[in-house]
Amino acid sequence: MKKLFLYLPILLFGCVPEPDFVKNPKVEQSESVYGDFNFALTENRTINLSFTDQNGAAHQGIKIELKHPDSDQVLFKGVTNSTGQLVSEISLPTALDRVIMEANYIGIPNRLILPIQNKSIKLDFRGAVNLDQVISYEIDPRTESSRLTNARVTAGPTIKYAAAYDNNGVPANLEPTLDYISASVLQNINASLPESQPVPQFHPTYLADGKKTTLDIVEQADVWLTFVHEGAGWRNSIGFYTYTTSQPPRSLNDISSITVLFPNLSAKGSGGNLKSGQKVRLGRFEPGTSVGIVLLANGWNGSEVKDFYHTVFADKNLNPEPDAKLKQHNVLLWDEENKLFLLGFEDVRRDDIPFKCDQDFNDAILFVSSNPVRAISTVNVSPVDKPGTLDRDGDGINDNLDEYPDDATKAYDSYYPSATSYGSFAFEDNWPEMGDYDFNDLVVDYQFRHTHNSANKVVEFESKFKFRAIGAGFRNGFGFGTELSPSDVKSVAGQRIGPNLIKNSANGTESNQTKAVIIVTDNAHELFGSYGFVNTDPSAQDITPVEVKLTIKLNAAKLLSEIGAAPYNPFLIVSQDRGREVHLPSYKPTSLASAGYFGTANDNTNPGQNRYYTSKTSLPWAIHIPESFDYPKEKTDIRGGHLRFDNWAKSTGYTYMDWYRPQIGYRDNAKLFKK
């Protein structure tokens, strides 16, 4: 606001008037070169993800995160439903053309780079990844350093290979068809050996004395080993050794050789080329034989199994830790439903704590099958846990994935734009007349936190608004609208409003609104206890931004789409005139807006044509930036500080979609407010 309007409320507040507006010729003389551009830096994207096994059985309760490919900030969270689907909608930066999907579920590739195409993010996982649907697998950094295991093994049992192998360490003797890894098998694995839950804490019985960790053959049998999943930071190798059951090895000297089955137990996109379900035959064994599976830590050197850090055996007394309580490195579990043995390995030395060893025993996940099934003893073998075993509140979400494990009404929090960042709203308050176009009359950073239940519905949400700058003499208010009905809201807490301008209902929403409207403050100046300008003149005092936090509770859980697309519909209330609202371009006013302003002065709003809050030269009075905005100094046109703004606008958003970022050639820093 750079033109003085002496409304009575201003006089009562005793404001310090703003200087008279000096017309900015660049603004006033602009031609209508922006067409029907809505100046949006974000756009709604649909999310349509589906997870089933190869027979179509649903993977239910998988927690999915979508992350920014550059910053790794979490942009979206959700949980797959009873059909294995996750369908939602989110507003994302228009410059973003891909996201990283993390599943954090054993049996599902943990990091996939998914394209954003046709305003949509899609994946149809049917037991495997269709490479046509992804840009690439995200290859996790491989580390070969360890505090206690920095020396490589140069002696020990002889290394043999069960078969030849290719350049990726994939054996040539794979069975011709993939093993069926059912949704049921993965549910049992994720219940038994969930990510980031240490076995000594959550499943101590798996490590109890007397529990079997070897395969004891009690009837002649053919035995197979199937690769399921790996979550390791090393390129491990997997092999086996045998001995007479009644004569277990007492030392490494009793193991003459190790037969390598998988030279490189690394999945495609994670340092290798294995696919879940690939299977090798160990051989035919006679009763009275024991088979021990062995992991050679970081054994694959790119061409052969050599110079590994250490070897961890099924017979725990052979393992390198001096402390007997830390020697066990694999768990053997019996899955009665699916008639197979589950094997989980911890590849890092267990005395390497807290630097590397998470002790969740899922660095390598395999299962063992035999013909006949009864040929391998199940005596003293722990049974797998069933889904729900580690679900204290019974909401269908495993405790390791549940951010509220003791509250069945809540499962996780999602943030917008992310948990570690803020977006910004920047306003010109001279509407319906043009101002100096410095977009600092009010600058507000925002962050929303939504609390969801296991059905992906929001039960409450929190909004943080950080008021950073006021380059205005008007006493302006600020609020936002949603798609909710006022009756959907149970309560609003944290507003900073006085008794006169805003009339709220008992639940904290504004009265006489058809949709739920929440006023954050009716006077931004009063947040600072000042009526002068705030943080727009670098030569003036630097004032700490003021944060206002609101908590909005709902009467019944709602889908995000029923609330509206975050950051919803923010607006400015100009100079204590409740009907004088300034919204983002193309956003509709609330029920209390005064239509008499539309089409006056420089405004070109036409509700009949669904056109709102753009000037006759197609310029906006408000912009939304999906990250914290470096706004211009007082009386500095935004196009002078952000040099690519005009290019972006003239292209109607097709070029320089990241004009607000600190890229080379994008800014004249001398014209931006910095402290």
Same domain, residue pair 178 and 59: no
pLDDT at residue number 132: 78
Q: Average pLDDT of 160-171?
A: 96
pLDDT grade for 25, boundaries at 50, 70 and 90: very low
DSSP-based three-state secondary structure for 344: strand
Same domain, residue pair 468 and 376: no
More confident residue, 117 or 139: 117
pLDDT at residue number 353: 65
370 is a domain residue: yes
Q: Average pLDDT of 482-502?
A: 97
pLDDT at residue number 396: 86
pLDDT at residue number 405: 93
On the question of pLDDT at 10 being above 80, the answer is: no
pLDDT grade for 268, boundaries at 50, 70 and 90: confident
pLDDT at residue number 19: 34
Q: CA torsion, points 382, 384, 389, 390, in degrees to nearest 10?
A: 90
Closest CA to 634 of 469, 414, 404: 469
105 is a domain residue: yes
151 is a domain residue: no
393 is a domain residue: no
Rounded Cα–Cα distance for residues 91 and 258 (Å): 54
pLDDT grade for 375, boundaries at 50, 70 and 90: very high
Same domain, residue pair 216 and 253: yes
Chain centroid to Cα 209, Å, comes to 40
On the question of pLDDT at 497 being above 90, the answer is: yes
Q: Average pLDDT of 474-497?
A: 98
Same domain, residue pair 22 and 46: no
On the question of pLDDT at 513 being above 90, the answer is: yes
On the question of pLDDT at 14 being above 60, the answer is: no
CATH number of the CATH domain containing 97: 2.60.40.10
DSSP-based three-state secondary structure for 486: helix
Same domain, residue pair 375 and 490: no
Cβ neighbours of residue 482 closer than 8 Å, sequence gap 6 or more: 515, 516, 517, 518, 563, 564, 568, 569
Name the domain boundary from 383, 399, 420: 383
Number of structural domains the chain divides into: 3
pLDDT grade for 674, boundaries at 50, 70 and 90: confident
Same domain, residue pair 634 and 590: yes
Same domain, residue pair 362 and 486: no
Place of tokens 């919204």: 583
Rounded Cα–Cα distance for residues 675 and 543 (Å): 10
Q: Average pLDDT of 290-298?
A: 96
Same domain, residue pair 198 and 300: yes
pLDDT at residue number 28: 45
Rounded Cα–Cα distance for residues 279 and 405 (Å): 36
Same domain, residue pair 254 and 233: yes
Q: What angle do CA 618, 620, 621 make, to 5 degrees?
A: 145
Q: Average pLDDT of 469-498?
A: 97
Same domain, residue pair 166 and 253: yes
Domain range for 132: 42-137
| Preceding peptide of 372 cis, ω within 30° | yes
pLDDT grade for 32, boundaries at 50, 70 and 90: low
2 is a domain residue: no
- Alpha helix (H) ranges present in 599-644? 638-641
Same domain, residue pair 321 and 199: yes
- For the chain, the average pLDDT equals 90
Same domain, residue pair 548 and 663: yes
On the question of pLDDT at 18 being above 70, the answer is: no
On the question of pLDDT at 549 being above 60, the answer is: yes
pLDDT at residue number 130: 79
Rounded Cα–Cα distance for residues 404 and 399 (Å): 8
Least-confidence region, from 66-80, 204-218, 352-366, 516-530 = 352-366
Q: Phi and psi for 316 in degrees, rounded to 5?
A: -65, -20
pLDDT grade for 12, boundaries at 50, 70 and 90: very low
149 is a domain residue: no
336-348 burial, b if ≥16 CB within 10 A, otherwise e? eebebbbbbbbbb
pLDDT at residue number 213: 96
pLDDT grade for 195, boundaries at 50, 70 and 90: confident
On the question of pLDDT at 34 being above 90, the answer is: no
Least-confidence region, from 131-135, 292-296, 509-513, 595-599 = 131-135
361-392 burial, b if ≥16 CB within 10 A, otherwise e? bbbbbbbbbbeeeebbbbeebbebbebebbbe
Closest CA to 295 of 285, 305, 282: 305
pLDDT at residue number 24: 44
86 is a domain residue: yes
37 is a domain residue: no
Rounded Cα–Cα distance for residues 232 and 427 (Å): 49
pLDDT at residue number 131: 74
pLDDT tens-digit map of 435-446: 889 999 999 999
